Structure 1
């Protein structure tokens, strides 16, 4: 099994894991990447971030095994009592249902319309978005739930989908405008595209890509579907995208106004976070807005 390696570690000088009872622990969980962030609830400020990745393809089981190992050695996971634990799950198995049509007993049926659900390995959850009047129905690995509940038995634990965090974070950053705005979040081999018009969700989906041509195809397809103009409408990008990358270059080739997103407003960051790119970790930070 490929090994997870720490790629980033940011801790505020005053951060003490033993103060967990007045802090929130946010975990972004994916088979290939796991990040943990700590927010000091009294100061409403992020004070710690740790990032772990594998270089080769990994599995959910391998990621769970890594968390189990970290439970013994990592102070963030050794502390069992947090004011809030929120875990964001990265996968393509989600669907958005209008609030007025949502039936709790039909969650799995909604999901089966566009995803394969494996009840022996997965659990079906949902997250409410009152401002968008939507419910996000998604799967989470049963093994992740089985690890989390006893691990944080003294803390309230909540599961959300990565797209829920992104939608809430982007909604938080969106400006009221008559024109729709495309927000792009880039993961390794995945791109999530969200279109907001004012505070109304027009589009949200996640796509797998293996080349820059695939990537720009999905972006241009959504722009066309939403009747947006790549020469006039601005596009905001967060995630794993560097200024000198092939993906950024092809974006700038086809879209005139490309801007990198910033850290979310409405929450503070230790000065230690100044060393990180502002447009990275937006999905982790945005777990804070999933109340």
Structure 2
């Protein structure tokens, strides 16, 4: 039995009504979240987030948890015009188009991800950069979603994150250092004028691990922690140990300014959280 904290679910709703709705969901071994939006205006209507403590041990157990959520949450028990799923995991790598062969995906992951012969490997084509994200999706969850909704679209979280941040920062003339925080890993991305300079995902267990990867990236790119600006996104607060140790070494820190004001008056969600699903 997986023990989950009593206050594991948080929800934000508006009073707006829509006849046609889209469903976007994001899942990882750390949690599950979904956003229901107006199909025509794209306005968010409902957002719910489930945090798993401790993290789920396997994709099989994650599916069991997701099935229970769908069975008990009435917001998910309706018809949707479009369904979009985001797989959030570290089982991925970024491959430039120049060396990409869609018919031979296995070699791209073998040095960074432990793969099995039975693993299904797929890829996402990026909208902005000439590259593809090669990754292992949770096929069992895809099958469950197909049984419930029929055809749907899915992508890896890094694909969505990279494309959104490049669009967000395309007019910035200085290098932008973004850190997207999740409970057990962080995505580090550096870009300038809509061009990707660096992207990687790092797993961390302690705050010392966390700051090490940030400083390691800065050192590799010859960026001075006393000068460059670091922008936090995701599951991090100013009162957290992660923020405190980062501020010890990086002088200029701020949180992402939201594109969407959906969380502006929320007590449960920060404006810079859930950038992938909402903003």
Distance 1:72 1:201 in 2: 41
1:1-291 paired onto structure 2 within 5 Å: 1-3=1-3, 6-15=8-17, 19=19, 22-59=20-57, 60-79=59-78, 81-120=79-118, 122-153=119-150, 156-263=151-258, 265=259, 269=262, 276-285=269-278
Distance 2:107 2:120 in 1: 13
The superposition leaves residues 246-287 of structure 1 with CA deviations (integer Å, 9 ceiling, x where unpaired) of 111111111111001122x2x56387658631011112225x
Distance 1:270 1:224 in 2: 35
Distance 1:67 1:131 in 2: 32
Distance 1:3 1:12, change over 3 A: farther
Distance 2:167 2:135 in 1: 22
Q: Report if aligned partners of 1:44, 1:268 keep a CA contact under 8 Å in 2.
A: no
Distance 1:150 1:274 in 2: 35
Runs of 5+ unmatched residues, structure 2: none
Query: What is the Cα deviation at residue 3 of structure 1?
Result: 4.7
Q: How much is the aligned-residue C-alpha RMSD, in angstroms?
A: 2.1
**Structure 2 SS opposite 1:269:** coil
Q: Report if aligned partners of 2:181, 2:187 keep a CA contact under 8 Å in 1.
A: yes
**Structure 2 SS opposite 1:279:** coil
Query: What is the Cα deviation at residue 119 of structure 1?
Result: 4.4
Distance 2:75 2:115 in 1: 32
Query: What is the Cα deviation at residue 69 of structure 1?
Result: 2.1
**Structure 2 SS opposite 1:140:** coil
Structure showing greater relative contact order (alpha-carbon pairs closer than 8 Å, 6 or more residues apart): 1
Distance 2:217 2:104 in 1: 29
**Structure 1 SS opposite 2:36:** strand
How many residues align? The count is: 276
**Structure 1 SS opposite 2:103:** helix
The superposition leaves residues 82-101 of structure 1 with CA deviations (integer Å, 9 ceiling, x where unpaired) of 22211111111111111233
TM-score normalized with structure 1 length = 0.87
**Structure 1 SS opposite 2:278:** helix
Query: What is the Cα deviation at residue 7 of structure 1?
Result: 2.5
TM-score normalized with structure 2 length = 0.91
Q: Report if aligned partners of 2:202, 2:213 keep a CA contact under 8 Å in 1.
A: yes
Distance 1:212 1:32 in 2: 18
Q: Report if aligned partners of 1:181, 1:196 keep a CA contact under 8 Å in 2.
A: yes
Q: Report if aligned partners of 2:24, 2:277 keep a CA contact under 8 Å in 1.
A: yes
Distance 1:271 1:234, change over 3 A: closer
Richer in helix (by share): 1
Q: Report if aligned partners of 1:127, 1:137 keep a CA contact under 8 Å in 2.
A: yes
